[in-house]
A = this chain, B = another copy of it.
Amino acid sequence: MSLENLSCQKSFGGWHKRYKHRSAVLDCEMVFAVYLPPQAEQGGTLPVLYWLSGLTCTDENFMQKAGAQRLAAELGLIIVAPDTSPRGPQVPADPDGAWDFGLGAGFYLNATQAPWAQHYRMHDYVVHELPQLIEAHFPASQARSISGHSMGGHGALVCALRNPGRYRAVSAFSPISHPMDCPWGEKAFSRYLGEERAKWREWDATVLLETAGERLPLLIDQGDRDDFLETQLKPEALAQAAKAAGHPITLRLQPGYDHSYYFIASFIDDHLRHHAQALK
């Protein structure tokens, strides 16, 4: 597994680096970004926070806009930001050119339906292949945690809930909390997974909470002026499921905030501290 370095920029005494590599899982070339805090040059290994971005994003949005590096440098956290779908000319896109399915919209699941199943396996990429790569090439320990925004918030919750023991902490900003029951999720799941709704349950955080194998506390921030709150995100479904299952959850409805990175930047420090505490 070789990595090609694309860029390297000093940031808060550490380094923001972008890499290209061949993904066996996704059967295409992928780009990811990693933030290495200053402590990465001190000889030991550091815990890793995986950040999953939302629809239309790449590895760049979070690294440019969230302002996470300042505190990550202080806490000694590596941050890894993968892309949001497989990429490349051979990867099928939405036939209508929509932005909410296909390229930029992998939904962090393993597709089972043609023509998507060959490349759209973002769950296995994020949970298995990418950490292997990170732990082989960087001073990264196996202490992992995961967070994300919107589609990536869904991804973070699902990756953690499906893989007990693999992450020490999980959090999300404005997650698509119950994708089986919203237009974005219904569109994506019906194509990636087929029309049989029973199969969708394995990829829905609200459903997965019912039978969660571990009680990883969920920290969720959600803006109350988010245009997608009622139609797509539905955090109350997740909160109800958590309550019913006795699963620890902190759902903070942040007054006045929207769906943007201005919102994420405002609360990213709380999330970094939540992760760092569990990772240390």
Contact = CB atoms under 8 A, between A and B. Distances in A.
A12 B262 CA distance: 8
Interface in A175-230: 223, 225
A163 to B, nearest CB: 32
A265 B67 contact: yes
Interface of A: 9-13, 16, 64-65, 67, 69-70, 223, 225, 254, 256-258, 260-263, 265-266
28 contacts: A9-B257, A9-B258, A9-B260, A9-B262, A9-B263, A10-B225, A10-B254, A10-B256, A10-B258, A10-B262, A10-B263, A10-B266, A11-B262, A11-B265, A12-B265, A12-B266, A16-B262, A64-B64, A64-B65, A64-B261, A65-B65, A67-B70, A67-B265, A69-B262, A69-B265, A69-B266, A70-B265, A70-B266
Nearest to A67: B67
Nearest to A266: B12
Contacts of A262: 9-11, 16, 69
A59 to B, nearest CB: 14
A254 to B, nearest CB: 8
A265 B65 CA distance: 10
Nearest to A224: B10
Contacts of A254: 10
A181 B185 CA distance: 57
Contacts of A223: 10
A10 B265 contact: no
Given A10-B223, A10-B258, 15 more contacts: A9-B260, A9-B262, A10-B225, A10-B262, A10-B263, A11-B263, A11-B266, A13-B266, A16-B262, A64-B261, A65-B65, A67-B67, A67-B265, A69-B262, A69-B265
Contacts of A263: 9-11
